[in-house]
Structure 1
């Protein structure tokens, strides 16, 4: 990962940064499919419109950190195992 010398943030040209884009969407799509949870149901529990879930799953947009936390909370309500899977897929084994 390249780091700008003036700031500690990664450069947008970094292939690692680009590769991480959509990671939450990929994790969410896999989790919803495996556990049979619909986008509609997740949106309902989160109190948001289904089109937001759709954009994340299709990797058109990335959810904010706050929304990732809300996704995990909603999944915990719907299916605790789905929550664990989402967290593992998104953050890795050490965080689950």
Structure 2
């Protein structure tokens, strides 16, 4: 097994890593290995973009405004009716 040494690690970063490792009941080395594995398991931005460009499957159209309205209605059903009523609109100078 290889070894990795990190020099000039800022104190606040070291403390944050130590705290996260403690929270998960693992050593800091194990925690950092997990972070590295998780990061390396994902494609880089360049790899992801190349994959998306190579994918020729037709994409479906998503009506973003309608989707946001639906989510807003789920979150706060009264918000939609309040924002549509002219007397409830706030006016800023």
Relative contact order (alpha carbons < 8 A, sep ≥ 6): 1 or 2 greater?
1
Select the structure of larger CA radius of gyration: 2
TM-score (norm 2): 0.24
TM-score (norm 1): 0.23
